[in-house]
Structure 1
Amino acid sequence: MTLTTYAMVAQVRFRELWTRLALAAFIGVTAWVISPSIWPAVWLGGVLATQTVDWLVFRRFRENPRWVPDRAYVALSCLVTFLGVAVYSGIAVYLWITGGEIGRLFAIVQVAGGLLHVSLHMHHARPILISAVATHGAYFLSLPIMTAVIIGEWQEALIAIGCLLYMSHLVVAVRQSSTITGALRAANAEAQEARHKAEVANAAKSDFLAVISHEIRTPMNAVISAANLLRRTRLDDQQSEHVTMLTDAGDVLMGLLNDVLDVSKIEAGKMELEVTDMDVRARLTALRRLWEPRASANDVNLVVRIAPAVPDAVRTDPLRFQQILFNLISNAVKFTASGEIVVSVDWVDGQMVVAVTDSGVGIPADRLGNVFNSFEQADAGTTRRYGGTGLGLAISRKLARLMGGDLTATSVVGQGSTFTLSLPMAMAVAVVEGETSGPADVSALQGRSILAADDHEVNRRILKLLLEPHGCNLTLVENGQEALEAAAGQRFDAILLDMQMPVMDGLEAARRLRAGGQNRTTPVIALTANALDTHRAAWDQVGVHAFLTKPIDPILLASTLAEACADDGASVEAAVA
Structure 2
Amino acid sequence: MLAQRTEQTTGLGPMDIKFTNRLSYKQARLTVLVGFILGTLLSLIQIGIDYASEDASINREIRTLLKISHDTASRIAYNIDTELAQELTGGLLKSPALIRARLIDNNDTVLADVQRPRLESRYRPLSDFLFGEQRQFQDRLYLAHLPGEYLGTLYLDVDTYAFGGRFLDRAGITLFNGFARSLVLTGILLGLFYLMLTKPLVTVIGALSGGDARVPRQTRVECPSGHENDEIGVLVKVANQQFVSMATEIQQRRNAENRLTQYLNELEDIVSARTDELKAINHRLSQSNQELEDARQRALDMAHARAAFLANMSHEIRTPLNGMLGMIALAVDGPLAAEQRQQLAIAHDSGKVLVELLNDILDLSKFDAGQLELERIPFDLGAMVEDTANLLSQNAAASVELTCLIDADFPSSVLGDPTRVRQIVSNLLSNALKFTRFGRVDIRLHSIVGGVRIEVSDTGIGIPEDAQARIFQPFTQAGAGITRQFGGTGLGLALTRNLCKAMQGHLHIQSQSGFGSCFSADLPLPPHTEAIAPAPLVGRVISLGNSTSGLTELLQTLLPRWGLEHAHFDSAADIFGAAPDLLITDDLEQVLQLRPGIAAPILLATAYGSFLPSEQTAQLAPLYQLARPLARNALYQTLRRTLLGEPSVALPSPAPGEQPLRARILLVEDNPVNQMVAKGMLIKLGCLVQIAAQGAEALECLERECFDMVLMDCNMPVMDGYEASRRIRQGGRWPDLPIVALTANAMPEERERCRAAGMNDYLAKPFRREELLALIEHWVPISG
Q: TM-score normalized by structure 1?
A: 0.58
Shift of 1:270: 3.2
Change (3 A) 1:151 1:212: same
Matched, 1:462 2:673: yes
Matched, 1:328 2:428: yes
Correspondence for 2:692: 476
Does the CA contact (< 8 Å) of 1:545 and 1:564 recur in 2? no
Shift of 1:210: 3.4
Shift of 1:493: 2.8
Please give the alpha-carbon distance, in whole angstroms, between the structure 2 residues aligned to 1:397 and 1:545: 34
Correspondence for 1:211: 308
Correspondence for 1:524: 739
The gaps in structure 2 that reach 5 residues or longer are 1-241, 533-649
Does the CA contact (< 8 Å) of 1:526 and 1:544 recur in 2? yes
Please give the alpha-carbon distance, in whole angstroms, between the structure 1 residues aligned to 2:531 and 2:759: 27
Task: Choose which of 143, 146, 151 in structure 1 pairs with 2:248.
Answer: 151
Matched, 1:283 2:384: yes
Please give the alpha-carbon distance, in whole angstroms, between the structure 1 residues aligned to 2:528 and 2:381: 10
Does the CA contact (< 8 Å) of 1:224 and 1:247 recur in 2? no
Secondary structure at the aligned position of 1:363 is classed as: coil
Shift of 1:324: 0.7
* Count of paired positions: 415
The gaps in structure 1 that reach 5 residues or longer are 1-144
Secondary structure at the aligned position of 1:570 is classed as: coil
Does the CA contact (< 8 Å) of 1:440 and 1:563 recur in 2? no
Correspondence for 2:456: 356
Q: TM-score normalized by structure 2?
A: 0.44
Correspondence for 2:762: 547
Change (3 A) 1:242 1:321: closer
Please give the alpha-carbon distance, in whole angstroms, between the structure 2 residues aligned to 1:562 and 1:410: 44
Please give the alpha-carbon distance, in whole angstroms, between the structure 2 residues aligned to 1:364 and 1:268: 32
Report Cα offsets for 1:522-558 as digits up to 9, x if no partner: 33222112212333355467785653223x34xx1x5
Does the CA contact (< 8 Å) of 2:444 and 2:454 recur in 1? yes
Shift of 1:223: 3.8
Pairing 1:220-369 to 2, within 5 Å after superposition: 220-225=317-322, 227-228=324-325, 254-292=355-393, 295=396, 298-369=398-469
Matched, 1:405 2:616: no
Does the CA contact (< 8 Å) of 1:527 and 1:549 recur in 2? yes
Please give the alpha-carbon distance, in whole angstroms, between the structure 1 residues aligned to 2:293 and 2:702: 46
Shift of 1:241: 13
Give the residue type in structure 1 aligned to 2:309: I
Give the residue type in structure 1 aligned to 2:763: L
Does the CA contact (< 8 Å) of 1:441 and 1:559 recur in 2? no
Please give the alpha-carbon distance, in whole angstroms, between the structure 1 residues aligned to 2:523 and 2:759: 33
Report Cα offsets for 1:256-284 as digits up to 9, x if no partner: 54333333332443333333333333323
- The Cα RMSD (Å) is 4.8
Identity of aligned residues (%): 30
Correspondence for 1:419: 519
Correspondence for 2:749: 534
Q: Look at both structures and tell me which one has the larger radius of gyration over its CA atoms.
A: 2
Task: Choose which of 674, 689, 710 in structure 2 pairs with 1:495.
Answer: 710
Secondary structure at the aligned position of 2:423 is classed as: helix
Secondary structure at the aligned position of 1:346 is classed as: strand
Shift of 1:392: 0.8
Matched, 1:450 2:666: yes
Change (3 A) 1:276 1:245: closer
Please give the alpha-carbon distance, in whole angstroms, between the structure 2 residues aligned to 1:490 and 1:176: 88
Does the CA contact (< 8 Å) of 2:471 and 2:490 recur in 1? yes
Change (3 A) 1:180 1:257: farther
Range 494-503 or range 241-250, more displaced: 241-250
Please give the alpha-carbon distance, in whole angstroms, between the structure 2 residues aligned to 1:146 and 1:546: 100
Does the CA contact (< 8 Å) of 1:527 and 1:548 recur in 2? yes
Change (3 A) 1:157 1:483: farther
Range 490-499 or range 226-235, more displaced: 226-235
Please give the alpha-carbon distance, in whole angstroms, between the structure 2 residues aligned to 1:147 and 1:466: 116
Change (3 A) 1:159 1:410: same
Please give the alpha-carbon distance, in whole angstroms, between the structure 2 residues aligned to 1:193 and 1:502: 47
Give the residue type in structure 2 aligned to 1:286: D
Does the CA contact (< 8 Å) of 1:531 and 1:549 recur in 2? yes
| Higher share of residues assigned helix | 1
